[in-house]
Structure 1
Amino acid sequence: MVTRIALTGLASVASLVSLLGPTIPLEWGPGPLTVDSLPRVTYVAHRGGAREVPENSLSGLMAAYGRRTAHVLDFDTRMLSDGTLVVMHDPLLNRTTYLGGEVHKLNVREWQGVRVRPKASLPGSWRSERPPTVAQVLDLLGGRVVLMLEAKDPRSVAPLAALLRSRGLTRSVVVNSNDPALARRAHRLGLLTCLWRSAQQLRTDRPERWRSFVDVLDVDYKARDADLVRAVNSGVRRVWAHTVVTSAQRDRVLGLGCDGVITDTPGRLARAPRRAPRRGPQRGARP
């Protein structure tokens, strides 16, 4: 059941398309961007940069793209009752929209009535808008920037694979999950995979077991130094730390060997110079 709470004006998606100009960083070269084009230290805008833009919104993702403060745009996905994949983090609508109720009970027609509720604490001025479908985000941004999406619904992996294959984006989009079994399934479907782990999970994890099917290991920056270093030395090609919001947090995880940060504040970190550690472990060094 969907409970109507309030409604405000709808931001025009058409007005956002103008942001899709030639803003790809020149050093990445021409053509569709893939993970292989990412720089040595990668910045990921978590939910588009949730402390700077309305999270998981089309205007937020496109603003993050236009600002060029992150190399990867992250968003969350859920599945509606009719199989439509949409961009939403929570299982309920209540926190981030003007409606209430369970996301998975809606169909695509009912989804058209959902409107994002921007946080009052966000900088700038943001209007209410319809949250996008995954297909809309892929069609607007796929290949222009590397995307990372978290598959909140395990049933969605096969439909996601179909969407990505049909658009030629299997090397441009990373599918994220907390479940190693889901990551293995996505890998078998030919997708790039990311596995996120909490600080508590990292205490007992053996991440070297996942290196054959995980392309990115997404680690909690709050984890102990030894656990982060073990992840760095696991053999997984990329290790990114979440969810970083300050330059001190960034500098610590990069100093421990991580090669990327997932952040709610990509603009702030882009402006903050990195402090190199006095000494730090290298990949391949023993923890």
Structure 2
Amino acid sequence: MVTRTVLAGLATLTVAGPAAGLTPLEWGGAPLTIDALPRVVYTAHRGGALEVPENSMSGLMATYRRGSAHALDVDTRMLRDGTVVAMHDATLDRTTRAKGPVRGLTLGEWQKVRLRPDPKLPGHWRAERPPTVAEVLDRLGGHVVLMLEAKDPDSLDTLARMIRTRGLIRSVLVNSNDPEVARRAHRLGLVSQLWRSHKQMRTDRPERWASFVDVLDVDYRARDSDLVRAVRSGIPRVWAHTVNTREQRDRVLRLGCNGVITDAPTLLTGVGGR
């Protein structure tokens, strides 16, 4: 087994990626789970949106192969026919060559959509078809921890079924901004994650969520006192988003967070650079 360890600010990062000792499922290895995550976790937000095309299969695979993150974040939306797909926005306008609401499409129509990679991204990227969540789970599930943000709360039962039937209950986090959605995810047996903005954190009482939230996802822009309150809430994992500089990272780790969610995992970890 080969592991790569780098000093990342206040934390030592041991990356488990394809070149770092993760046994592929097809070789008979067990799925990688959140229980195997290190003390400080680096998550690639939307796959690492400053480095790769967001929520794209090629971007997710590139970050995974580089080994620059312990977990990959994917936003999810539901189509008209109930198919759950990887997409942040409610419309196609910003990230694809098409326009209109994501919810208005069928799977057949979705398969004709092509992503429009940001020309400012490093490297060369094709205008590929955006994936379904089933494709993401089948390609990466169990090889790396996945974080699925349920942008459409009515997709939760479908997400739970897909995760459960693939044996990935402990390998996938389901994220939402709504405490009631997080509570439902917990009741469905999922690993529940709740994100909160810096404005919400001013009045939040996160200790009320400790019985059903596994990961609290906090805004790095929050006041020191609000971050410390989250860390002391009794929720075992408190990760800060969206952290894109070393200074931001060092602050949230110093205040007690045990993970960062970043658009720039290679920059923050120093692993997987070209």
Same fold (TM over 0.5): yes
Kept after mapping to 2: 8 A contact 1:146/1:173: yes
Aligned length: 251
Partner of 1:209: 208
SS in 2 for 1:26: coil
Separation (CA, whole Å) in 1 of partners of 2:22 and 2:52 = 26
Partner of 1:160: 159
Matched AA of 2:62: A
Separation (CA, whole Å) in 1 of partners of 2:269 and 2:188 = 35
Matched AA of 1:207: P
Question: Sequence identity of aligned pairs in percent?
Answer: 67
Kept after mapping to 1: 8 A contact 2:22/2:143: no
Kept after mapping to 2: 8 A contact 1:216/1:239: yes
Greater Rg over alpha carbons, structure = 1
Partner of 1:184: 183
Partner of 1:269: 268
Partner of 2:135: 136
Partner of 2:18: 23
Separation (CA, whole Å) in 2 of partners of 1:245 and 1:258 = 15
When normalised by structure 1's length, the TM-score is 0.86
Partner of 2:3: none
Q: How far did 1:31 drift?
A: 2.4
Separation (CA, whole Å) in 2 of partners of 1:83 and 1:127 = 27
SS in 2 for 1:147: strand
- Unaligned 5+ runs, structure 1: 1-21, 273-287
Q: How far did 1:27 drift?
A: 8.2
Q: Deviations over 1:223-259 (max 9, x none)?
A: 0000000000000010000000000000000000000
Separation (CA, whole Å) in 2 of partners of 1:160 and 1:109 = 20
1:204-283 alignment runs, 5 A limit: 204-271=203-270
- Unaligned 5+ runs, structure 2: 1-16
Kept after mapping to 2: 8 A contact 1:24/1:145: no
Kept after mapping to 2: 8 A contact 1:177/1:183: yes
Q: Deviations over 1:34-71 (max 9, x none)?
A: 00000000000000000000000000000010000000
Q: How far did 1:28 drift?
A: 9.3
Q: How far did 1:270 drift?
A: 1.0
Pairing 1:38–2:33 present: no
When normalised by structure 2's length, the TM-score is 0.90
Matched AA of 1:245: N
SS in 2 for 1:82: coil
Separation (CA, whole Å) in 2 of partners of 1:215 and 1:99 = 37
Q: How far did 1:24 drift?
A: 6.2
SS in 2 for 1:244: coil
Q: How far did 1:26 drift?
A: 2.9
Partner of 1:112: 111
Matched AA of 1:124: G
CA RMSD of aligned residues (A): 1.4
SS in 2 for 1:33: coil
Flag as ranges the 4+ runs of structure 1 deviating above 2 A: 24-31
Separation (CA, whole Å) in 2 of partners of 1:84 and 1:271 = 37
Partner of 1:63: 62
Kept after mapping to 2: 8 A contact 1:82/1:107: yes
Separation (CA, whole Å) in 2 of partners of 1:24 and 1:202 = 38
Separation (CA, whole Å) in 2 of partners of 1:227 and 1:146 = 27
Q: Relative contact order (alpha carbons < 8 A, sep ≥ 6): 1 or 2 greater?
A: 2
Partner of 1:14: none
Kept after mapping to 2: 8 A contact 1:41/1:259: yes
SS in 1 for 2:256: coil
SS in 1 for 2:242: strand
Q: How far did 1:25 drift?
A: 3.3
